[in-house]
Amino acid sequence: MKQRKRSSSGCCGWFLVIIVLAGIAFAVFAVLKHKTWGSGSPALGDPKKYSDALKIAMQFFDIQKSGKLDENQIPWRGDSALKDGSEAKIDLSKGMYDAGDHMKFGFPMAFTATVLSWAILEYGDQMNGAGQLEPARNSLKWITDYLVNSHPTANVLYIQVGNAKVDHGCWNRPEDMKEARPLTQVNASYPGSDVAAETSAALASAYLVFKSTDSTYSSLLLKHAVQLFQFADKYREVYSISIPDVQTYYNSTGYGDELLWAASWLYHATGEATYIDYVTGENGDDFANWGSPTWFSWDNKLPGAQVLLSRISFFGSKEVSNSDALDKYRKTAEAVMCGLIPKSSSATSSRTENGLIWVSEWNALQHPVASAFLAVVYSDYMLTSRTDKLSCDGDNFKASDLREFAITQANYVLGNNPMKMSYLVGFGNKYPEYVHHRGASVPGDENPGCKDGFKWLDSDDPNPNVATGALVGGPFLNESYVDSRNNSMQGEPTTYNSAFIVGLLSGLVATSSVVQSFA
């Protein structure tokens, strides 16, 4: 699976430093871990800790907001990118910056919205109990407002604001940007089924979030979701083939997973059989990859679709045609779950010595947090449906085993790791102080130009502004972490990571049933 790549000035030299320091750190912590982290220690959940962490994690969405911030909650943030979209006479001032940069990449931004919607739909009560439901809805709407505006006609979708090469040649605050902000679109001549379908999934899932509180707005979201799915399905192509310039950062490896993902959300939104027929018929045969578990990420939606479609077989498959195909989705979801449970005979070996799922050195925490989110959701499906066991090659496990796995991943992120450091900025007594994030690194009373700000990238001082709620990229396989602003591989946060951690923490605030229908 291809991962997002980041680049910044001066990073090559730092990688040599990182490798040396990582080796030193590994030697130190290899000794410590045997004294402190025994593999037989049971995972203990702490609802208050997860509630506190959830309140912190939610704040990163406010940090990433573009546009006019009328109710700004972050003292060092202000209005920015107010003219985005003006060259096409549309308003793209909202949305969220992708990571530590000022790019608006539509593919991962839409995925952020889909995951955040899913988290709200499954765990809105838990969010509400922690006082975070309204902030979650507000952050979601900030993205969906942008996505609606980015779809001005049926077969046109603007999928990027900014030139990545130019943007990454600057180091300044978003409030001080003066460089050009060109627009990139997919259309019938240069299609992008993956990004259009992901945007459809985002708007279909958000429709379900808002339909009880704002029927007019939710109807608008569903209208765009349906059009975008039709566009994605009719004009089939990978967007990074149509537009090679996007390959450097979010190179898609296919569009089949997004088509199934979008159709799954449209089925939940509309109840229309055409969408369930879509995922269980020929398209399922072509794209579902049944029986082959994979990793849930911005580039691969199959595990998410498999778990989401399992909802139907858990809570009402008798009313759906082609239940055999739905069973294949559920069995593949079960295979994903069996791979996560450490004691399963089919448990993945892609873990650190202390049990963190580890797949990629770039943005390493995406996969464990995404996997843990799916595990806690699936465990709650089992509890709600009174499903006693999950069978993994003859061994039986309970919903509590999945929840325990999810807790181990959350606890690791929040500080139960060899570094004894929280990877969620602002949580606990120790967390990264040199986060790779422009706005956080430049003092608020400075107004540097594009190139002038690089002195703060290279500064030895901690960030003057705390990027509260940022989930950084995470540890190396040897469980070391180098807290350097130039270390974008480990130290850069993303909005989609935030969606995953918000969903996971919301699911761990309390053990409870999920709703049996989003409708």
State the catalytic residues: 436
Q: Which residue has the tokens 């991943």?
A: 409
CA distance 443 to 441: 7
**Position 428, amino acid:** G
Q: Are 214 and 134 in contact (CB under 8 A)?
A: no
Q: Are 251 and 189 in contact (CB under 8 A)?
A: no
- Find, among 326, 480, 485, 488, the residue nearest to 418 by Cα: 480
CA distance 519 to 151: 25
Helix (H) or strand (E) holding 265: helix 256-270
- Cα-to-chain-centroid distance, residue 333: 19
460 class by beta-carbon count within 10 Å (0-12 exposed, 13-18 middle, 19+ buried):
exposed
The runs of H, that is alpha helices, within 9-46 are 11-36
CA distance 458 to 96: 25
Q: Which residue has the tokens 């049971």?
A: 42
Residues in the chain, how many? 519
For residue 187, which phi and psi values (nearest 5 degrees)? -155, -170
CA distance 228 to 159: 12
**Sign of the CA dihedral with 194 first, then 198, 199, and 200 last:** positive
Contacts of 214 (CB under 8 A, 6+ apart): none
385 class by beta-carbon count within 10 Å (0-12 exposed, 13-18 middle, 19+ buried):
middle
For residue 185, which phi and psi values (nearest 5 degrees)? -130, 155
Q: Are 210 and 221 in contact (CB under 8 A)?
A: yes
Helix (H) or strand (E) holding 160: strand 156-161
CA distance 249 to 50: 32
**Position 491, amino acid:** G
